[in-house]
Chain A
Amino acid sequence: MRRLIIAAVAAALVAASCSRSTESSVTVVAHDFFAVSQDVLDQFTNETGIEVTILLGGDAGLIVNQAVLTAGNPVGDLLFGVDTTLLSRALDADVFDPYVSPVGGVVPPEYRADGVTAIDVGDVCINYDPAAFDPGVPPPATLADLTDPRYAGMLVVEDPSISSPGLAFLLSTIVEFGDEGAYTWRDYWADLRANGVVVAPDWGTAYYGRFSGAGGDLPMVVSYSTSPDAEVAFADPPITSPTTAVMTDGCFRQVEYAGVLRGAAHPQAARAFIDFMLGLPFQQDVPGQMFVYPVRPDAVLPDWFGAPPITPNRLDPAVIEANRDRWVAEWLDVVLR
């Protein structure tokens, strides 16, 4: 038996080392929520002759950390899923081999970043369940409304030290209320705490566990601007219009980037795949697969997909990187301790 296992391991070792030497392949490293239709991938392989292997590993934070740990000696050829909150960390660690795609002109200037290519954008927003509010109480319209005692104990947020949407929402409040002044984001969160904000560890626990729009008990949750549309797309029996809604104030925009990993075994193929991700077939596949917006304004959206909020909050990745740890530590002190 043991000999059999040794033989199997040896065979796998050989197989693992061989797969690296062929030039006609590319390995994409992405987070577990990356998805693309098989026919779109086949289209890429048919056009270029390049076979695509996709490696998935945890959430965005984990894959970026893996990439930082293996900078210069990467596990795959390109990384997809570095978002606004993590981009500077990856750039500082020299994770990427800078690449400017020749078709990069389709990306709106506001989303361009050095060395990496923006692929999609999404907004982290408060979702609410209109049916859960008393007739006399209108749903809140702004972040500031949330400290109103009428909304006491109604909101669940994710812990920003663990959850990516949780961090995005914290950043949104920092943009909104500022880091200094008479009333800072810390004061705002102290008021939220006094108003009974509930903290959940991750998106799934907050959304499926507590949000009344998904079977829980609280009328408001930090989620994505596209969640109500997804509720329509994934309903059975089918429904025609969303039963939950998005508060358009205080959204935070996250851009997801792809980049060629420094030291990649197949840098050419990786570049070709990034160009392909900017093409319309991939871009128009994004909403249905990942519930975010394609970065190209000319991509046609599915008809069940609503329009994004008009003015989301944004923050420079470098500013996030310089302050994130301090902000999160301060948040823990204000809200949990």
Chain B
Amino acid sequence: MTRRTTLALGAFPAAFLALFFVWPVASIIATGLVRGGFAAVGRVLGDGHLAGVVWFTVWQAAVSTILTIVVALPATWVLSRFDVPGRSLMRAATTIPFVMPTVVVATAFLALLGPTGLLGVDLQGTVWIVLAAHVFFNLAVVVRLVGGVWAHLDPRLEDAGRSLGASPWSVFHRVTLPLLRPALAAAASIVFLFSLTSFGTVLILGSPRLATVEVEIYRRSALLLDLPAASILAILQMIGVIGALIAYSRYQERHSVEQALRPAGETARRPRSRREWSLVVGILGATGAFVAGPLGILVWRSFTVTGGFGLDAYRALANGEVVSVGTAAGNSIGFAMAATLLALAVGMPAAVLVAAKRGRLSRWFDTLLMLPLGTSAVTIGFGFVVALDWPVDLRASIILVPIAHALVAAPFVFRSALPVLRTIRGSLRDAAATLGAGPGRVWREVDLPIVARVGAVGAAFAFAVSLGEFGATLFLARPGSPTIPIAIYRFLGRPGALNLGRATALSVVLMIITAAAVGVVERLRPPGPGLF
């Protein structure tokens, strides 16, 4: 890759991150530190409860990550390797939890496992319900990122292993797993960051005694305005996140394996035996029940919230009082489109660049791109407010909404592309070059088809992230009418059965829009034979 190409690829992502992430976050942290001075550092670090909060934050994130992978892997296997009816429906369904606002999902979890829970056990305030919710939210990350590679693994590798007499477990352990490892690590890194900075889930399900660093940052920024303490906590959070990301990035470089990917249609097959059928159906059924439980509660509530069974909540929502549902949906979709384009413009060139170059610079770029996911929404929101008034005052501009969404979405684009791009065989490029293709042509013929396809996976993700984004949006001074998650928040802040009804009905609307939108975005993936 020439210097010019490097610059051309890196310029936009670097400028975007510098302007809308590094500068705002540095400004707000500096403001906090200047106000508080060293006294604040001592006060925060001397707080005996802080060590407990930090410890809880880290271990619950680690356990959430492991549990998510364990729960998601069987379903990922079935969804990417088997051609069974309802496969794409199921894949879309696992995406819905990922998009639902945490406030809404948390109330659904309380309805199942809370004080008056349907399942008869009260887990409110315990770590168990927090872990369950994190698994529920993040299932999609594993299904999509790992499935994106698994669906394209050459089945002949596994067949070869099996015909040499290896047991299914040993084939998985020694052939499949090593090939999936980069994608698994990518998914794990995202799940870890999401759980590490978990806010609404921990606040509602874990309160009053469980708190993450993120909850503490909010506590200090919201009513107490202890900005120095919030800044120090934000730095602490960031140091942890950077450490985790660098470790990840080294791991990723060391373990990516070049391989030939196959078209998904070629790798998926019908289950062969009765035993395989029952395994496949069992896995899909169990995962489906786990996803459908909380979502089903929400749908049920939207019909029953005002007393008997009926459409009252939807009628109340449709009358447009407080918030027009059409406008909110329009806003959400419009912002999601803008945020997706931005996230692609940031994430794809960055992924191509990082995949092609190794070394320290590339690792730092990688880390920087992921950092917004691990940064508290309060820090980013307040950062925008203190920093973005120059050279033009953007602080009250509507474009900050898609920009904030793109910051959170770009890491998904980047992470879904990187593991795949790293697997492109150098020999393919060499072959093309030997056959007389110039560097541009090689890129067009070999890399581009793959880039376009992983771009589609990333776009679906980015779209979903933007539809569900709540935290960073809340902290912006937003003109005009709200997005769906913000509208739900506003309904939930008002008394009266109809307002609760509107909030639940609007959550169901969000579910439907998500499923439809993700389906459409996936269909947009470019056709053509390509490599896979």
A residues sitting closer than 8 Å to B (CB atoms) are 1-2, 4-5, 8-9, 12-13, 15-17, 20, 27, 29, 32-33, 35, 53-59, 61-66, 68-70, 73, 75-76, 85-86, 89, 159-164, 167, 199-205, 207-210, 214-217, 223-224, 226-227, 230-231, 233-237, 291, 324-325, 328, 335-337
Instruction: Flag if B225 contacts A57 (CB, 8 Å).
Output: no
Q: Which of B82-90, B358-366, B388-396 contacts A (4 or more CB under 8 A)?
A: B388-396
A76 to B500 alpha-carbon distance, docked (Å)? 31
B225 to A336, Cβ gap below 8 A? no
Question: Of the candidates B116, B385, B493, B497, which one forms a contact with A70 in the assembled complex, judged by CB atoms under 8 Å apart?
Answer: B385
Closest Cβ of chain A to B485, distance in Å, is: 12
| Contact A201-B203, Cβ < 8 Å, known A75-B395, A236-B498 | yes
Instruction: Report the 3 A-B pairs with minimum CB-CB distance, sorted nearest first.
Output: A234-B496, A234-B498, A55-B477
A57 x B478 contact (CB < 8 A): yes
B275 lies within 8 A of chain A by Cβ: no
B interface residues, tally (CB under 8 Å): 69
CB-contact partner of B397 in A16, A200, A209, A233, under 8 A:
A16
Contact of A161 among B12, B223, B307, B478 (CB under 8 A): B223
For A56, list chain B residues within 8 Å (CB).
477-478, 482
Q: Which of A15, A69, A160, A209 contacts B31 (CB 8 A)?
A: A69
Bits for B466-503, please: 1 = Cβ < 8 Å to A, else 0: 00000000111111001000100110111111111100
Which residues does chain A contribute within 8 Å of B49, judged by CB atoms? 337
Contact flag A2-B478 (CB < 8 Å), given A76-B396, A210-B115, A234-B497: no
CB of B208 within 8 A of chain A?
yes
Q: Which of B31, B223, B344, B477 contacts A162 (CB 8 A)?
A: B223
Flag if B399 contacts A9 (CB, 8 Å).
yes
- Cross-chain contact B382 with A35 (CB below 8 angstroms): no
Report how far A4 CA is from B12 CA in the complex, Å: 13
Query: Quick check: A236 and B224 within 8 Å, CB to CB?
Result: no
Complex partner residue of A73 from B207, B389, B489, B500, CB under 8 angstroms: B389
The residues in B between 163 and 193 inclusive whose CB is less than 8 angstroms from any CB of A are: none
User: Among residues 296 to 312 in chain B, which have CB atoms less than 8 Å away from a CB atom of chain A?
Assistant: 305-307, 312
Determine if B73 is an interface residue (Cβ-Cβ < 8 Å). no
Q: A75-B385, A201-B204, A291-B494 are in contact. Are A57 and B223 (CB under 8 A)?
A: no
* Cβ contact of A207, chosen from B227, B489, B495, cutoff 8 A: B495
Contacts of B476 in A (CB 8 A): 57
CA A333 to CA B490, docked complex, whole Å: 31
User: Which residues from A are CB-within-8-Å of B501?
Assistant: 236
Contacts of B226 in A (CB 8 A): 325
B338 CB contacts on chain A under 8 angstroms:
8
Beyond A199-B207, A208-B492, whether A162 also contacts B497 by CB under 8 A is no
